[in-house]
Structure 1
Amino acid sequence: MQKLSVQAPRGVVMIRPHHFSPNTATAEDNVFQATDAGRTAAAIAAAAHAEVTRAAEALEAAGVAVHLFEDEGRGTPDSVFPNNWFSTHSGGHVALYPMFSPSRRRERRQDVIEMLKQRYRVQDVIDYSGLEQDGLYLEGTGAMVLDHIERVAYAARSNRTNEVALERFCTHFNFEPVVFDAVDAMGRPIYHTNVLMCVGTDFCLIGLDTIRDSARRAEIAGRLAGTGRAVIDLSHEQIGEFAGNAIELQGKDGRIVAMSARALKALRPQQVATLEGLATILPIEVPTIELAGGSVRCMLAGIHLAARNLALSSAWNGWRA
């Protein structure tokens, strides 16, 4: 039986949207977004609702505690991606983040924070959202990929990742910032770090070729390998299929890697074999959600907090807001 890992949370928060659509306000710097002219807006919204439902059921079946909240509003098209506006941390800490797009600032919900306080041991909530007034943005664990074991925050510079805001977070939460420039195959900045990188307990998925500076690329690759993790290098094409947008979670039978079925299909057989030797892969079909430029990892806000009731894995599994 695997030991529990601080890297792999046992619970997640998910948001089920009733009026999902790709957000035109964020499309300018998110080149992963796409359109679907073959379906009506109502059909796309219904499909997204069903995909979130099935994703929550798959995670619960694997033994992950899912706290599923509903979003019935029409003014929050990206609400399905809650990991951008808050994160949780061992020791009872919660962070709220400044969002680049004004349309996304409406996603912050007090009921989610209140649930965390009721169900988990929360000591404080540090709110960075005021930095929006200064044009400083840091979109949570989209902007940062956190190594909770080594206490490192990997962050690719973008409109959504400001170094001043990152430094403040790292000072408060005791992470070392590792900042770099990352671009896609066309030389365009990648909007979120968690699109190109996933750090697990014993592995790391990363698109090393996205890191523009060769010296920085070698430094980061060496640093990750130095932790003893298996470094699985992803191509630009695989990054475009969301192969880097995965998350390690603790299930009832050990650690799992949640990623989209599209992402898994993009991996080469040897990459799959390496990953399967270290965790169980849980593929989830979310093609409609992926139209918005994010995938499974973006949909899951991990809960790195101690439960108030140690029976979390059984009594709260499947809890609904």
Structure 2
Amino acid sequence: MRRNNTMTILMIRPIRFGYNSQTAGNNAFQRRPEQNAAAIQQQALHEFDAIVGKLRQHDIDVMVVQDSPEPHTPDSIFPNNWVSFHGDGSMVLYPMFAENRRLERKRAVISAIKSRFSVQQEIDLSTNEIDGRFLEGTGSFVLDRENRVAYACRSPRTDEALLRDVCRRLGYTPIVFDAADSGGTAIYHTNVMMCVADRYVVLNEGAISIADRKRVADTLTASGKTIVTISHEQMTSFAGNMLQVENNRGKHYLVMSSQAFGSLWPKQVNLLESFNPIIHSPLDTIERNGGGSARCMMAEVYLPLMVEHG
């Protein structure tokens, strides 16, 4: 049973997952499909169920909500972009770049959360979509919840003014920087290059602009984090798209895809495992067609429980 001060993971089980042409323009991680839609959905469902099973085997509290066929939301498997949940009872809804991703804010998902957790404040930023201003949740920024710091790289999907507004409302200090991939393209989501854990951070330092690099590193080290540096190539294999999770007994794990794990050097694996065990699972179909990986599939729920279970 989940303790009231630990983490629940919200995951959306896909029903019509597939390549989303509306996001491909500024998501360099997506690849055009090589299979038909039915095959992609079937394989994505297999990958989804497998990683949920592994998380639950380690006593991690996973709340799975089945997606609905209509409206069609090909990226619904990535809920961390449109919603975030916080220990003070806040639920934040975010403005999404792609029009069909805005449809992911389904009442059934929110109702499922509210049936189990106490939402004491709703912050709805989604109306900013009308003005072409976007902030895609914990994809756009990476939270250090303990030290109340939000790290974010600027991109078409990350409006700096909106970031500063949500940080003010939630009590975080924003650390904003520029970052680009090896081809010079702005990185679309901070969480593909950076994972902040309790005692360490996995970071593609080389992606950060030279003007911003020292400031970001100094903030991380000042908060007591060991920096585990990854390369551009490892980032392309989703080695930055990881999430540290906590199980019902308070034990930490680092969750990633098998592609990400396979890209790591032995010394990186040894260092990460000195902090916590690693859980990895194959997500090749989801990564290739969706341009996101393990971290994107998990929305952390820190809301107070509706009823305290003894």
Classify the TM-score, shorter chain: over 0.9
> Matches of residues 45-84 of structure 1 in structure 2 within 5 Å?
45-73=41-69, 75-84=72-81
**Residue 179 of structure 2 corresponds to residue 182 of structure 1:** yes
Residue 13 of structure 2: aligned partner:
16
Residue 117 of structure 2: aligned partner:
120
The C-alpha deviation readout for 1:111-133, integer Å capped at 9, x for no partner, is 22222222122211111101111
The one of 24, 29, 32 equivalent to 2:26 is 29
1:303–1:251 CA distance, 2 compared to 1 (3 A) = same
Which ranges of structure 1 fall in alignment gaps of 5 or more residues?
313-321
SS in 1 for 2:228: strand
Residues of 2 paired with 1:21 and 1:112: CA distance? Answer: 20
Residue 92 of structure 2: aligned partner:
95
Bigger Cα displacement from structure 2, 183-192 vs 62-71: 62-71
The C-alpha deviation readout for 1:127-176, integer Å capped at 9, x for no partner, is 11011111111000000101101111111111110011111101110111
The count of residues paired between Structure 1 and Structure 2 equals: 305
SS in 1 for 2:195: strand
Deviation at residue 40 of structure 1 after TM alignment: 2.0
Identity of aligned residues (%): 41
Residue 193 of structure 1: aligned partner:
190
Residue 247 of structure 1: aligned partner:
243
**Residue 270 of structure 2 corresponds to residue 273 of structure 1:** yes
Name the aligned partner's letter for residue 11 of structure 1.
T
The C-alpha deviation readout for 1:201-220, integer Å capped at 9, x for no partner, is 011001010012x2310111
Deviation at residue 310 of structure 1 after TM alignment: 4.2
**Residue 232 of structure 2 corresponds to residue 236 of structure 1:** yes
Residue 319 of structure 1: aligned partner:
none
- Contact map agreement 2:61 2:248 (CA 8 A) in 1: no
Residues of 1 paired with 2:82 and 2:31: CA distance? Answer: 22
SS in 2 for 1:94: strand
The one of 249, 253, 259 equivalent to 1:256 is 253
Residues of 2 paired with 1:263 and 1:201: CA distance? Answer: 20
The C-alpha deviation readout for 1:225-267, integer Å capped at 9, x for no partner, is 2222211011000100000000011124510011001101111
The C-alpha deviation readout for 1:59-83, integer Å capped at 9, x for no partner, is 1111111111112326211111000
**Residue 270 of structure 2 corresponds to residue 293 of structure 1:** no
Residues of 1 paired with 2:150 and 2:267: CA distance? Answer: 28
The one of 139, 142, 150 equivalent to 1:145 is 142
- Contact map agreement 1:138 1:160 (CA 8 A) in 2: yes
SS in 1 for 2:168: helix
- Contact map agreement 1:209 1:235 (CA 8 A) in 2: yes
- Contact map agreement 1:260 1:296 (CA 8 A) in 2: yes
Q: CA RMSD, aligned part only?
A: 1.7
Q: TM-score, normalised by structure 2?
A: 0.94
Q: TM-score, normalised by structure 1?
A: 0.91
Name the aligned partner's letter for residue 298 of structure 2.
L
Residues of 1 paired with 2:114 and 2:37: CA distance? Answer: 36
Deviation at residue 36 of structure 1 after TM alignment: 3.6
Residue 221 of structure 1: aligned partner:
217
- Contact map agreement 1:136 1:164 (CA 8 A) in 2: no
Residues of 1 paired with 2:135 and 2:218: CA distance? Answer: 26
- Contact map agreement 2:19 2:33 (CA 8 A) in 1: no
Residues of 1 paired with 2:219 and 2:92: CA distance? Answer: 26
Residues of 1 paired with 2:10 and 2:41: CA distance? Answer: 20
Residues of 1 paired with 2:308 and 2:60: CA distance? Answer: 14
- Contact map agreement 1:17 1:70 (CA 8 A) in 2: yes
The C-alpha deviation readout for 1:7-28, integer Å capped at 9, x for no partner, is xx52111111121111111101
Name the aligned partner's letter for residue 218 of structure 1.
K
